[in-house]
Chains A and B, each alone.
Chain A
Amino acid sequence: MFHTRTRLSHRLAGTALVLGVAVGAAGCGDSPTAADAATEKPSVSSLVLIDGWVKAADHGMTGAFGKLVNSSGADIHIVSATSPITKSMELHEMAHGDGGEMVMREKTDGFVVAAGGEYRLEPGGDHLMFMELTSPIQPGQDVPVALTAEDGSRVEVSVVARSYTGANENYQGGEHGDDGHGGH
């Protein structure tokens, strides 16, 4: 489904060396959702999602946000995401639509979290998109999300649902309900 870049895969292999330092990236009081490194391939185990959250919604689409932090010495290239409560997920970006307005659309080349760097997912910017919820997401609920890197390795993160009335970007893509990112 996603094309592979052998150059990046090669570099990702090096991240195995820094396995185990992922949680250290979290600041005091932040809420890191670290990988369960032991059960995953090592390449994304140095990736954490800090302050991850998802916009609560009863049905349809909704977005998830947070700060991806890569504590390894190699870039990590996230190419897809899944969650048990949505039929599918996409990696999205905001871009100018044909009429000049801001629209969201699939970011087909994924998110590259630079070595030792961070990558912000936020309303009005790049985000994770739940495309069709199979059960409601209620405020305060923890929602698991699996991020898959280019080399096929996965990292499990968690996002907490919040009431949020923003993140109502127009979607430029396949069919979808007119409630955009869901309503809560």
Chain B
Amino acid sequence: MARRLGRRAFLASGAAVLGGAAALGGRELLDADPEPAAPDSPGRATVAFHGEHQAGVVTPGQAFASFVALDLVDGVDREALVRLMRVWTDDIERLTRGAPGLTDTEPELAAVPAGLTVTVGYGPGVLTAAGREDLRPGWLTPLPAFGVDRLQEAWSGGDLLLQICADDEITVAHAVRVLVKEARTFATVRWVQRGFRNSPGTVTPGTTMRNLMGQVDGTSNPIPGTEDDRLIWIGPEGPAWLHGGTGMVVRRIAMNLDTWDELDRPAREQVIGRRLDNGAPLTGTHEHEEPDLEAMTELKLPVIESFAHIRRARSDDPDHRFLRRSYNYDESPPAGELSNSGLVFVSFQADIDAQFTPIQRRLDQLDLLNQWTTPIGSAVFAVPGGCRPGEYLGQRLLEP
């Protein structure tokens, strides 16, 4: 209210004594209603840590992500995992509200939360170390081998996963550092994958991200907060420690942008089955329209080709869907090469075997996109449900 009065006073004085310049300034203020966000509002944004679910799953993708897989050192047992998870939970609570970690040696770097989320996942090794193999869901195991795979050990597996996302890279780097060093006596870093999406303020919120092949990527995602939730979150049918949790697939997909460059625009659209400009299926005009897989051209050829990615990536079973939350990567290329780019493919689903694997099998059998993309890393994690204040992540597994 004080701000409104101030504006009115400013306008009144401008009208009375000044010419065009002041009037323009006044109009800009009027057009800015509701009050404009502070210039640093993306930096000050926070995402609640506590809740039924861990943050970072249905949270709209922040601009930057680091995925850190760790391996437990010998001798880490259930009691040690309790200690690690208490330490991590405490520091994640602090960092996600913009406070320093408990022993933060660079506390100033924690002052910009930038929508920070930290999502903790457990590989099969955690259940082994904890002596809780009986509580391992069947899908918590490496994915079956696919013909297209060229997996490298350097990007695969892991006992623990930290998915650390924020709209600022300094925030991400600091959170990674704090959490990894607090874990130093429990685990060693196995691999780190970094990725990015659009930065805040660059595209309308809710815009589907584009991958570095130029395609919209993630259009037909399940919609959180609808009946699709059953596809994302594990319910009472799963083990208690995973209620409110989810299954996570992380695959590193290398893109051959040099050979992709050889394709002209119509061919690129045929490969996917979508228009490049707005992501609409080739049978429609809007991105979120359902593709008409039966539609034929005048020459009695399918509009969306038999080999097109969107035809292959969907099955008749409505349960064969999962929430994609991928990030682009663009690393230094080896000497003599132009680029080293791709996708840190991330998907969340209540049951990896029932939802993800059937689709990946279909894509493995036939998907023209496979000519330009190669999976070079693969890992599977169980993301425990969220925790309330006073609890720690994974408590229902480690101290049921």
Contacts and interface: CB of A to CB of B under 8 A. Distances in A.
A177 interface: no
B288 interface: no
Interface stretch (B79-87, B145-153, B323-331): B79-87
Given A139-B83, A139-B87, A139-B182, A29 B97 contact: yes
A141 B186 CA distance: 13
Contacts of A160: 86-87, 90, 102
A167 to B, nearest CB: 9
Interface residues of B, number: 21
7 contacts: A31-B90, A139-B87, A139-B182, A160-B102, A162-B102, A163-B181, A163-B185
A164 B87 CA distance: 13
Contact of A140 (B83, B181, B184, B389): B83
Contacts of B82: 140
A51 interface: yes
Contacts of A141: 83
A41 interface: no
B86 A166 contact: no
Contact of B105 (A51, A140, A166): A166
6 shortest interchain CB distances as A-B pairs: A140-B83, A140-B87, A162-B103, A140-B86, A163-B184, A139-B185
B93 interface: yes
Indicate the size class of the contact surface on chain A. 10 to 19
A117 to B, nearest CB: 21
A184 B93 CA distance: 24
Given A51-B102, A140-B83, 6 more contacts: A29-B97, A29-B389, A139-B185, A160-B90, A163-B185, A166-B105
B97 A138 contact: no
A163 B180 CA distance: 10
Interface in A43-86: 51, 53, 56, 65
B99 interface: yes
A31 B86 CA distance: 12
A24 to B, nearest CB: 17
B44 interface: no
A51 B184 CA distance: 21
B87 A29 contact: no
Nearest to B97: A29
A184 B184 CA distance: 9
Contacts of A166: 105
Contacts of A139: 83-84, 87, 182, 185-186
Nearest to A164: B103
Nearest to B49: A29
Interface in B71-114: 80, 82-84, 86-87, 90, 93-94, 97, 99, 102-103, 105
Most chain A CB inside 10 Å of its own CB: which residue of B80, B84, B90, B102: B102
Contacts of B84: 139-140
A150 B96 CA distance: 40
Contacts of B183: 163
B182 A163 contact: yes
A53 B83 CA distance: 14
A184 B80 CA distance: 15
Nearest to B103: A162
Contacts of A138: 80, 83, 185
B185 A29 contact: no
Contacts of A31: 90
